[in-house]
Amino acid sequence: MQKTETITTTRLPKWVLALLPLVLLIGLVAIFLAVNPLAVFTDAFPPLEELTIQRVRFPAAGQIELSVINGGPDPVTIAQVLVDDAYWQFAIEPTQTLDRLETATVALTYPWVKDEPLPITLITSTGITFGTEVEVAVESPPADSGTLLTYGLLGIYVGIIPVALGMLWYPFLRHIDRKWVNAILALTVGLLVFLFVDTLLEALEIAAEVPGVFQGVPLVIFGTLLTLGVLMAIGQRRGQRTPLSIATLIALGIGLHNFGEGLAIGAAFAAGAAALGSFLVIGFTLHNITEGVGIVAPLTKEKERPKLHVFVLLALLAGTPAILGTWIGGLAFSPFLAALFLSIGAGAILQVIWEVGKLLVNDARRSGQPAVSWLNFAGLTAGILVMYLTAFLVKF
Amino acid sequence: MKLEKIKSVSRRDFLKVGGVGVASLAGLTSLRGLSTAGTEAAHQSEHDHAEDHGAMGTVGQVDHEANGFTPMDLLYDFDYGEVKEENGRTVREWQVVAVDREFEIAPGIYFPGWLYGSQSSAASRRAGRIVGQCPGPTFRCVEGELLRLHFTNASSHPHTIHFHSIHAATMDGVPGVGPGMIQPGGSFTYEMEAAPFGCHLYHCHAIPLKRHIHKGLYGAFIVDPDPEKYSGEEKEIAKSRNHQYPENQDVNEMVMVMNGFDTNFDGDNEVYAANSIAFAYMNEPIQIRGDQKQRLYLVNITEFDPINSMHIHANFFDYYDHGTTLQPTLKTVDTIMQCQAQRGILEFSFAGFEPGRYMFHAHQSEFAELGWMGFFEVIE
């Protein structure tokens, strides 16, 4: 009855009905723009200014380059630049007045001192200041093949090598008892939980540097949740997972995490925030070696040993993103993209935790054992502890 | 001292200032020609320097015309007010206004100030209306004269004028005493005898005091000694200090008020200067004749920092703290410091010096690089 009523009362075609609210909305916006009925609320306030120095580069000795974005609602005019509390002559491209979301490059000739901190402040036409503190001034890497090679090697050291080394435990894992394999899987869950927390915190930390308009924290939270949702939806379609597909997912999640790690390392080295030493590289190798164990642990459930190239591909999937990360972090770091990628990584890891956990629970159900046995719990704890303790070597 | 009845002065009277404007405009134009030439030369030398270290300083030029007052006005303009005789006594009167106005303190940086302006200042005479300036006009008089400052508050906040001089409690310009704070639209006449002679200061004493000072309500107040009261060598010195005597015309007299501006209101100055405009006398050096004696009235009103200082390069000077003595209180020094409201007179000469640029600045390097730095340019 309701249906017939609908049919009789509507004479207009459906598309008109669909468009009607939009047309009215456009009309309302047009009226607001033309008449400005809310002027009383805005006239009483000075313009809101918000500038972010996204990146400070030192292209050569005596040269500084700033990349600035206007994240506020109103245009902002950069009137002067202060370096270490002194007015300094500068050139700005393309223009001194930045519209909303417009970016500019400020170039200065300034005798900065290598290895020393350097505060830089922009002062706008209204006298509001926006500053940044360079922790250690060092020459920024130029974008040439030498830099790509150096940073690429760094990515290999912290990404591919430790993962590959960890995977070499596979033959050993195949020959141990089932309950010990489950303990190793629980250890994998532990290290994944650590990586999830670590990635999320890193993402939130970088989100704080993202200009307000991009809403860094919601970006990270929804990036994480939507990634988790997308991966879960894909998983539902395929039905039951094979151990290999779970290993692939783990490798992908860890790869995304390593991408974030590469970003952080590349940006830190390029900004002089961390010294590149053997100690640090060895630290990353130790820290990430567990990741290799995590990837191959589900493969022990395969009836046959997978072929060698499978292992190579898994190692590359988990390790190569670290190389990409160091390149991007070192040469074109953007807080917005870094926060976004890290949140995707966090979501991917969360999904893998779910998958490995399911594997453990199903296995326990088949054998009539509790999923959270003391042994499994010990494995989980060991995974978190190993990651936590080896992180001492690489946290700066 | 008798309390003067509050005079009602219509603002329109203030705004109608005689035809001096056109003549001074011509003067301003020639002055600007000079300033442009100086700026180009400065850029040339900076360019040479830029090869290795870049260049300290601001980019662009302050629009002094839009400000309504130039760095040279602030340096050289003495506001003598209007002089008349009353019962055989010299009376000196000024029409003073407090206004709200935004002005440019460094190229492209605008400060929302509260400023004093006077009908008899160079800037007001040129504009044909009262122009608020920072620092306020340099009021100059002679000891013993009767002074009347007809103050009108055209600002949106209550203000006062508080003089660093000897006067009655009701004339002190502080809240709660005498007329207290002069409300917006209100007026009051401050009356006092000019004493003691020296280099002094006036400022707004309305509360909150810190904000009222740092917004720009201050200026120099100079009381010349009366030579008739002294004898011998001191009489000659007093003549040189008194603007009414020809001996004073031989001296190049300048005023610098050391100030700062906290543009983001975080309790720390972003701009420091002598006479408000960052690097003004660096972009437009002060021309000094080698054969002329130099006298600089220096006042410190810098807010937020305990002290400020002045250092002159390659030369030494005699210093008269507060300017209340005819003999120097410090001889042969090249740096002096002043706490807030401290002031004094510097006397020096560049006789026999090689022509060229001689720097002066606060010897707090931070203040210097934030704008309080300039050049004396010694010419033949």
Which sequence spans correspond to the domains of chain A? 2-43, 51-134, 145-391
**CB-CB under 8 Å, A111 with B109:** no
Give the mean pLDDT of A151-175: 88
The 3 state secondary structure assigned to chain B is CCCCCCCCCCHHHHHCCCCHHHHHHHHHHHHHHHHHHHHHHHHHHHHHHHHHHCCECCCCCCCHHHHCCCHHHHHHCEECCEEEEECCEEEEEEEEEEEEEEEEEECCEEEEEEEEEECCCHHHHHHCCCCCECCEEEEEEECCCEEEEEEEECCCCCECCEECCCCCHHHCCCCCCCCCCECCCCEEEEEEECCCCEEEEEECCCCCHHHHHHCCCEEEEEEECCHHHCCHHHHHHHHHHCCCCHHHHCEEEEEEEEEEECCCCCCCCCEEEECCCCCHHHHCCEEEECCCEEEEEEEECCCCCCEEEEEECCCCEEEEECCCCCCCCEEEECEEEEECCCEEEEEEECCCCCCEEEEEECCCHHHHHCCCEEEEEEEC
Residue where the block lists tokens 């952080």: A264
- Which residue of B lies nearest to A123 if distances are taken between CA atoms? B109
- Are the beta carbons of A79 and B108 separated by less than 8 Å? yes
Would you call A80 and B59 a contact, using CB atoms and an 8 Å cutoff?
yes
B369 touches chain A (CB under 8 A): yes
What is residue A173's predicted lDDT score, i.e. its pLDDT? 85
Write out pLDDT tens, residues B227-240: 999 999 999 999 99
Test B264 with A89 for CB contact under 8 angstroms.
no
Report CB contact under 8 Å: A87, B54.
Answer: no
Domain B256-379: CATH architecture, name and number where available: Sandwich (2.60)
pLDDT score recorded for residue B130: 96
Does position B189 have pLDDT exceeding 90, yes or no?
yes
**pLDDT band for position B34 (50/70/90)?**
very low
* Residue B3: pLDDT over 70: no
Is the per-residue pLDDT at B6 higher than 50?
A: no
Q: Provide residues of A within 8 Å CB-CB of chain B.
A: 62, 77, 79-82, 85-90, 96, 108-111, 123-129
Confidence of residue A1 (pLDDT cuts 50, 70, 90): very low
Do the Cβ atoms of B131 and B123 come closer than 8 Å? yes
Q: How confident is the model at residue A256 (pLDDT cuts 50, 70, 90)?
A: confident
Question: Start-end ranges of CATH 2.60.40.420 in chain B?
Answer: 11-17+63-249, 256-379
Helix (H, G, I), strand (E, B) or coil at A117: coil
**B265 contacts: CB under 8 Å, gap ≥ 6:** none
What is the radius of gyration, based on Cα positions, of chain B? Answer: 20
Among residues 43-102 of chain B, which lie with CB inside 8 Å of chain A? Answer: 46, 50, 52-60
pLDDT score recorded for residue B319: 98
Query: Residue A257 pLDDT > 90, yes or no?
Result: no
pLDDT level of residue A7 (50, 70, 90 thresholds) = low
Mean pLDDT in residue range B269-273: 96
Lowest mean pLDDT among A125-134, A340-349, B68-77: A340-349
Which range is most confident: A94-108, A283-297, B17-31?
A94-108
Separation CA B118–CA B136 (nearest Å): 8
- Taking residues A128-153, what's their average pLDDT? 86
Reply yes or no on domain B11-17+63-249 having CATH 2.60.40.420.
yes
Percent of chain A residues topping a pLDDT of 90: 26
| Residue whose entry in the numeric block shows the structure tokens 């190049």 | B252
For chains A and B, CB pairs below 8 A equal 79
Q: pLDDT tens for residues A39-73?
A: 666 655 666 888 989 888 898 899 999 999 998 88
Interchain proximity B371–A87, CB inside 8 Å: yes
Question: B297 pLDDT exceeds 80?
Answer: yes
- Mean predicted lDDT score pLDDT of chain A: 84
Cβ of B50 and A129 within 8 Å? no
Q: Closest chain B residue to A126 measured between Cα atoms? A: B110
Angle at B16 between CA B15 and CA B20, to 5 degrees: 110
Whole-angstrom Cα distance, residue A342 to residue B151? 64
Nearest beta carbon to residue B270 from set A111, A125, A127: A127
B227 backbone dihedrals φ, ψ, rounded to 5° = -60, -25
What is the architecture of the domain spanning A51-134? Sandwich (2.60)
Average pLDDT over residues B188-206: 97
Comparing A92-96, A138-142, B296-300, which segment has the lowest mean pLDDT?
Answer: A138-142
Contact A292, A162 (CB under 8 A): yes
Q: What is the Cα–Cα distance from A307 to B267, expressed in whole angstroms?
A: 69
- When pLDDT is averaged across residues B124-153 and rounded to a whole number, the result is 97
pLDDT at residue A279, rounded to an integer: 63
